[in-house]
């Protein structure tokens, strides 16, 4: 659903104010860079003192912020986003992504920043090397943190409502050990909602060992017996 809204919004921003075909909606006629820049400015106006980590999650912007920045040719804004600290002295964007259960999205943002930094290596090799080292350290730290969380603790945090199931899943997605990942997914299956089911299925399907996938899928089938036919359709598209 979010992807559909995302594509529709982009078309409306860049389409001509005078539709060429009957039934088409008029657009704003902006260039791609202008369209994304204006959208970012509207969101920035909702932040506190321009800090993106203070932005309220609307179900869309946390997933697409850095993509819009890239489309607006604002690579420096992405690098700035990933290094700004909050009042507690910690990475503001990561803390907010982690709090709303979107740590995996933060990892994607780091990956985008890595790619953009790499593209500019020839222009500023020294500065780029520093950025790449920092992003490597961030990813290694998050992977290490995920691998150190005991499975029973992860389940307890989710079951007691300290973490949302999406937050527990985000940590699970960072785990490298397939056995540990399968056990962690299994531990939070009883607490996931139907809306989280596609992401859980996607993560489960990525398990390399078929036996692990089958075990987790059997638990999901028990959790959602009435929606299992729909779940099978999701599996076919991940």
Instruction: Indicate the pTM of the whole model.
Output: 0.62
Mean pLDDT of 190-217: 86
Residue 76: CA count within 13 A, CB half-sphere? 2
C-alpha–C-alpha distance, residues 56 and 164, integer Å:
17
Partners of residue 48 on adjacent β-strands: 51
Contact 135, 79 (CB under 8 A): no
DSSP state, 23? T
Per-residue model confidence as pLDDT tens digits over 63-98: 899 999 999 999 999 999 999 999 999 999 999 988
Per-residue model confidence as pLDDT tens digits over 90-140: 999 999 988 887 777 888 899 899 999 998 888 888 898 999 889 888 877
C-alpha–C-alpha distance, residues 178 and 142, integer Å:
17
Q: Pick the residue with more confidence: 42 or 27?
A: 42
* Percentage, residues of the chain above pLDDT 90: 30
Structure confidence at residue 203 as a pLDDT band (50, 70, 90): confident
């Amino acid at each position: 659903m979010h992807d559909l809204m995302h594509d529709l919004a982009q078309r409306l921003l860049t389409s001509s104010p005078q539709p060429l075909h009957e039934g088409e909606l008029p657009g704003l006629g902006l260039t791609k860079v202008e369209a994304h820049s204006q959208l970012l400015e509207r969101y920035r106006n909702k932040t506190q003192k321009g800090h993106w980590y203070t932005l309220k999650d609307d179900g869309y912007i946390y997933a697409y912020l850095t993509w819009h920045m890239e489309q607006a040719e604002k690579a420096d804004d992405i690098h700035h986003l990933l290094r700004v600290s909050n009042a507690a002295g910690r990475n503001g964007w990561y803390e907010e992504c982690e709090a709303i259960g979107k740590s995996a999205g933060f990892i994607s943002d780091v990956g985008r920043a890595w790619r953009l930094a790499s593209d500019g290596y020839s222009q500023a090799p020294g500065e780029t090397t520093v950025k790449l080292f920092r992003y490597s350290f961030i990813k290694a730290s998050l992977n290490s943190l995920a691998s150190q969380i005991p499975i029973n603790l992860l389940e307890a945090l989710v079951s007691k409502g300290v973490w949302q199931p999406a937050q527990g899943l985000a940590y699970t997605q960072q785990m490298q050990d397939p056995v540990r990942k399968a056990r962690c997914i299994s531990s939070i299956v009883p607490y996931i909602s139907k809306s989280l089911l596609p992401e859980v299925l996607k993560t489960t399907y990525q398990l390399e060992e078929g036996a692990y996938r089958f075990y987790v899928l059997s638990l999901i089938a028990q959790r959602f017996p009435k929606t299992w036919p729909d779940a099978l359709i999701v599996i076919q598209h991940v």
